[in-house]
């Protein structure tokens, strides 16, 4: 291990005199900046306001007496993720995840969907939108690859339209138009926002899946058709499983895009994690702690985003090993 690290350092950082000087200068500057930053974090920053506003940051305006629901939901989702990492669970992965999502929504629902907020809202929106957009995206990809001209044109048009407009426009449009078309129905802002996120993200999922279709050798389709299989059987039992295996890392990486895009729910009046931090700074007493608030939110986003990215890379490496 040490010998490998030594060879890597010699090969990449100290190849010649110029590289050696640049490496020393860069490390010196980074060390100086790191020392100043850590001194401010440990001794200069005022973290008391973050501690006092932790509930707002984590669960927003969710009732304080119902906080146990948020912790139970987190435990359910973590348990589901842990179960999915076990080898025996791969065959039941979809059932395990859908069951966990259903239970999580059931646990959080009683106080009202529009009471969800903070980091809890960002995580739940990511979980629900990513889960709901996958089957819709698969159907759109199958439709776009269909030999039926009408179906192919409809699915292609939907995908191209969704990919040509910004997410914030779709979310806001759904939020406005649902009450106009269904004035008698009481649909929460969160539900309308999730619908907008889902129909937008499904178009991108469809393109990921369609690229997976193209990665499957054409000879397999021809062989399946020669055996008398229908187009639907060929697509769902021969092509789709292989396509999903190929694009699995991209689909997991797409979850990160949904999580980062969850901040757009502020436009429909919801208090996500970023909006909760901005609400803290509205208080004149906390106006001087802008750096602390945004640094804390940056750290949380970085940790969650890194975890999702790490999961995508692990899936990709596992896929490469299993196909050798």
Nearest to 208 by CA among 140, 270, 150: 140
Q: Which pLDDT value is given to residue 125? A: 93
pLDDT in tens, 77-104: 888 887 777 766 667 777 888 888 999 9
Shared domain check, 33 and 143: no
CATH code of the domain covering residue 130:
1.10.3720.10
Shared domain check, 177 and 148: yes
Phi and psi, residue 272, nearest 5°: -85, -170
Shared domain check, 131 and 224: yes
Nearest to 178 by CA among 158, 194, 164: 194
Shared domain check, 317 and 170: yes
Shared domain check, 136 and 267: yes
- Within-domain flag for 217: yes
Nearest to 276 by CA among 68, 141, 117, 134: 117
Cα–Cα distance, 280 to 208 (Å, whole number) = 39
Residue 283 neighbours by CB distance under 10 Å:
11
Shared domain check, 311 and 190: yes
pLDDT in tens, 25-50: 988 999 999 999 888 888 888 888 88
CA angle 48, 62, 95 (to 5 degrees): 115
Using CB atoms within 10 Å of the CB of residue 95, give its burial: 0 to 12 exposed, 13 to 18 middle, 19+ buried: exposed
- Within-domain flag for 49: no
State the helix-helix crossing angle for 189-215 and 118-144, rounded to 10 degrees: 40
Cα–Cα distance, 182 to 318 (Å, whole number) = 47
pLDDT in tens, 185-242: 788 889 999 999 999 999 999 999 988 888 888 777 778 777 777 777 887 788 888 8
Is residue 192 within 8 A of residue 178, CB to CB? The reply is: yes
- Within-domain flag for 260: yes
Using CB atoms within 10 Å of the CB of residue 64, give its burial: 0 to 12 exposed, 13 to 18 middle, 19+ buried: exposed
Shared domain check, 148 and 20: no
- Within-domain flag for 37: yes
- Within-domain flag for 173: yes
- Within-domain flag for 40: yes
Cα–Cα distance, 313 to 310 (Å, whole number) = 5
Shared domain check, 289 and 254: yes
Shared domain check, 278 and 139: yes
Q: Which pLDDT value is given to residue 318? A: 63
Q: Which pLDDT value is given to residue 320? A: 56
Shared domain check, 283 and 173: yes
Range of the domain at 72: 63-110
Is residue 56 within 8 A of residue 279, CB to CB? The reply is: yes
Shared domain check, 200 and 149: yes
**Please, which pLDDT band fits residue 13 given cuts at 50, 70 and 90?**
confident
Choice among 36-50, 97-111, 294-308, 310-324 with the minimum mean pLDDT: 310-324
Choice among 93-107, 139-153, 154-168, 213-227 with the minimum mean pLDDT: 213-227
Q: How many domains does the chain have?
A: 3
Nearest to 256 by CA among 210, 302, 212: 302
- Within-domain flag for 51: no
- pLDDT of residue 299 exceeding 70, the answer is yes
Shared domain check, 210 and 104: no
Q: Which pLDDT value is given to residue 89? A: 67
**Please, which pLDDT band fits residue 137 given cuts at 50, 70 and 90?**
very high
> What is the model's pTM?
0.85
Cα–Cα distance, 152 to 214 (Å, whole number) = 16
Is residue 130 within 8 A of residue 258, CB to CB? The reply is: yes
């Amino acid at each position: 291990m040490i010998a490998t690290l030594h060879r890597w350092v010699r090969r990449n950082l100290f190849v010649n005199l110029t590289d050696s000087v640049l490496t020393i200068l860069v490390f010196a500057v980074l060390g100086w900046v790191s020392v100043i930053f850590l001194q401010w974090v440990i001794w200069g920053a005022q973290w008391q306001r973050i501690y006092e506003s932790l509930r707002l940051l984590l669960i927003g305006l969710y009732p304080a007496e119902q906080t146990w629901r948020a912790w139970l939901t987190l435990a359910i989702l973590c348990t589901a993720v842990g179960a999915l990492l076990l080898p025996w669970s791969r065959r039941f992965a979809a059932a395990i995840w859908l069951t966990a999502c259903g239970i999580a929504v059931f646990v959080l629902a009683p106080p009202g969907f529009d009471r969800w907020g903070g980091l809890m809202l960002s995580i739940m929106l990511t979980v629900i939108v990513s889960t709901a957009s996958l089957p819709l995206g698969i159907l759109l990809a199958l439709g776009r690859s269909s030999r039926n001209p009408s179906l192919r044109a409809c699915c292609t048009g939907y995908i191209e339209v969704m990919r040509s407009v910004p997410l914030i426009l779709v979310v806001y449009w759904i939020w406005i138009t649902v009450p106009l078309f269904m004035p008698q129905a009481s649909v929460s802002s969160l539900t309308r926002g999730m619908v907008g996120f889902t129909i937008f993200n499904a178009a991108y999922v469809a393109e990921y899946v369609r690229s997976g279709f193209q990665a499957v050798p054409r000879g397999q389709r021809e062989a399946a058709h020669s055996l008398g299989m229908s187009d639907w059987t060929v697509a769902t039992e021969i092509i789709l499983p292989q396509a999903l295996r190929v694009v699995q890392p991209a689909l997991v990486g797409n979850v990160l895009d949904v999580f980062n895009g969850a901040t757009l729910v502020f436009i429909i009046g919801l208090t996500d994690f970023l909006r909760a931090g901005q609400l803290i700074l509205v208080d004149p007493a906390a106006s001087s702690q802008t750096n602390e608030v945004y640094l804390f939110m940056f750290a949380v986003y970085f940790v969650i985003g890194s975890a999702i990215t790490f999961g995508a890379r692990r899936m990709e490496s596992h896929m490469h090993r299993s196909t050798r």
